[in-house]
Amino acid sequence: MAIPLSYSWRNLLTRRVTTVLTAGGMALVVFVFTATLMLAEGLRQTLVSTGSPDNVVVLRKSSETEVQSTLDRQVSNIAATQPELATDSQGRTMAAREVVVLFVLPKRTGEKSNVVIRGVGETSLELRPQVRLIEGRMPAPGSTEIMVGQSVLTKFAGVGLGQTMRFGQRLWTVVGVFDAGRTGFSSEIWGDAEQLMQAFRRQAFSVVVAKLRDPDGFEPYKARIEGDPRLQAEVKRERQYYEDQSKALSRFLKVLGVSLTGIFSVGAMLGASITMYSSVATRTAEIGTLRALGFRRRDILLAFLAEALLLGALGGAAGVAASSLLGFLTFSTTNFQTFSELAFGFTLTGEIAATSVGFALFMGVVGGFLPALRASRLVIVEALRSG
C-alpha cells in the first residue's frame, strides 16, 4: 500500500497560508474559465428555450436570421395553411405571420442599442406560451399600441407603461409589459404586424411561425415547403433555429474564455509548481526517511502528485463555488446574428462544473509533476543528510 492520502492532505493543511494563496490563484483562473462556459451555456439555453419543441419557423431560403428573412404574402399564406399544422378551437391554423425589424433605442446608461421589434399576429401569443403579460394590457389588434419585454424595460429608457416612442414616423404607446422568462422574447418589443409593416414601409413578412399538430409532422411539412421552387423557403424547428443563433456567439465566448484562461493558467501552474518545489525542499529529510523505511520512488511521486492534485481540487472547488454565485446575475450582450440586445444569465451545469474541476486538477498535475519527480529522484543518504 502506498503513502495514504491523509499524509498529503495534512501537509497542505500545515502550510495553510501557502495552500490558500496557491489554491486561490488557481481558483481565480477556474473562476474565469467557469464563468465564460456558464455565459456561453446561459446564452445557449436562453436562445434554445426561446423556441418551443413543436413550433416550426419558415424563413426565406439561406437567411440565417428572422431579421434578414422576407416572405411575401403569398408565400406566407401557403406556409401558414398546411395539413400538418395544428388548429385552434375555431378551426383556424395556428400560424403567425410576423415581421421582425431592428430599431435603435437609448439605453438607461445613455448609450444606444438595437432592439428587436416583432410585429405579431393574433396567434403569436398562443404559439409562445412563455410570454405572459405582467402589467398593463395587451395591445389592441390593428392599433399602434405596443408591449415591451421585461428586459427591455429594465435596460432601455422611455419604454415604461404609458410612455410613447416614435419610430417609423408614428407614435407608439406602451400599454403592456410582458415577461418571457429567460428567453430571447424578453428582450423584444411586440406590436401589430400590419401596423409595423406600414410604418416601416415593408411589403413582406419576415417569418411564419406555426405549431405542428404533432411533432412527426415536421418532416413532411419541411419536405413540401422546401420542395416547392416557387416558395424559396426554408423550414426549421423553432428550437433548432434559436440554437443555431446561439452557436457563433457561444463559440466566440468559449474560445475567448479558454484562450484567456489558458494564458492565466500558466501563472497558476507556475504558482503550484513553486509551492510544491518548496514543499519538497522543506521535506527533503522526510522524503529520505520514507525511502529508508522502504517506500519506493513511485510512492513518493504519487504522494506529491496527490498533494498537487488536492491543491488543484481545492482551487477548482473554490473557483466553481465562486462562479456559481454568478448564476444570480443577468447579463446583457449583443446577439451577433441579429445585433440586437439580448439578456441572459450565467448558467452552471454539472458538465461545466466537472470540466472546470477537471481543468483545476490538470493545472495541479502539470504544476506538481516536476517537483514530485524531483522528490522521487532524491538520493536517500543525501536527503537524510539535509535534515
Partner 1 sequence: MSSGPLIEIRRLYKSYTRGGQAIPVLTDVSFEIGRGEFLALMGPSGSGKSTLLNCLAGIDRVDSGEIVVNGQDITLLDETDLARWRSRSVGFIFQFYNLIPVLTALENVELPLLLTGLTRRERREHAAAALAAVGLSDRSDHYPAQLSGGQQQRVAIARAVVTDPDILVADEPTGDLDRTSAEEILTLMNRLNQELEKTIIMVTHDPRAAQEAHVLRHLDKGELSRAADTPGR
Smaller CB separation from partner 1, 103 or 295:
295
Residues 51-80 that bind partner 1 (CB under 8 A): none
Q: Minimum distance between the CB of residue 110 and partner 1, rounded to whole angstroms?
A: 59
Residues 234-263 that bind partner 1 (CB under 8 A): none
Q: Minimum distance between the CB of residue 297 and partner 1, rounded to whole angstroms?
A: 8
- Residue 300: C-alpha distances to residues 294, 368, 371 (Å): 11, 12, 11
Q: Reduce the DSSP state of residue 172 to 3 states and report it.
A: strand
Distance in angstroms (rounded) separating the CA atoms of residues 364 and 275: 11
Among 241, 367, 384, 386, binds partner 1 (CB under 8 A): 384
Binding flag, residue 5, partner 1 (CB under 8 A): no
Tell which residue, 216, 205, 242, 241, has the closest CA to residue 80: 205
Q: Minimum distance between the CB of residue 19 and partner 1, rounded to whole angstroms?
A: 13
Binding flag, residue 1, partner 1 (CB under 8 A): yes
Smaller CB separation from partner 1, 10 or 73:
10
C-alpha cell at 108: 438607461
Give residue for cell 411539412. Answer: 221
Residues 281-300 that bind partner 1 (CB under 8 A): 285-286, 288-297
Binding flag, residue 2, partner 1 (CB under 8 A): yes
Name residues whose C-beta falls within 8 Å of residue 89's C-beta, 6 or more positions apart in sequence: none
Q: What is the DSSP string of 351-366?
A: HHHHHHHHHHHHHHHH
Residue 148 burial by CB count (10 A; 0-12/13-18/19+): exposed, middle or buried?
buried
Binding mask 8-47 for partner 1 (x = CB under 8 A): --xx-xx---------------------------------
Q: Minimum distance between the CB of residue 4 and partner 1, rounded to whole angstroms?
A: 7
How many other β-carbons are positioned within 10 Å of the β-carbon of residue 106? 14
Distance in angstroms (rounded) separating the CA atoms of residues 18 and 280: 14
Cross-strand pairs, 207: 98
Smaller CB separation from partner 1, 158 or 387:
387
Q: How many residues bind partner 1 (CB under 8 A)?
A: 25
Smaller CB separation from partner 1, 263 or 293:
293
**Site of interaction with partner 1 (CB under 8 A):** 1-4, 7, 10-11, 13-14, 285-286, 288-297, 380-381, 384, 387
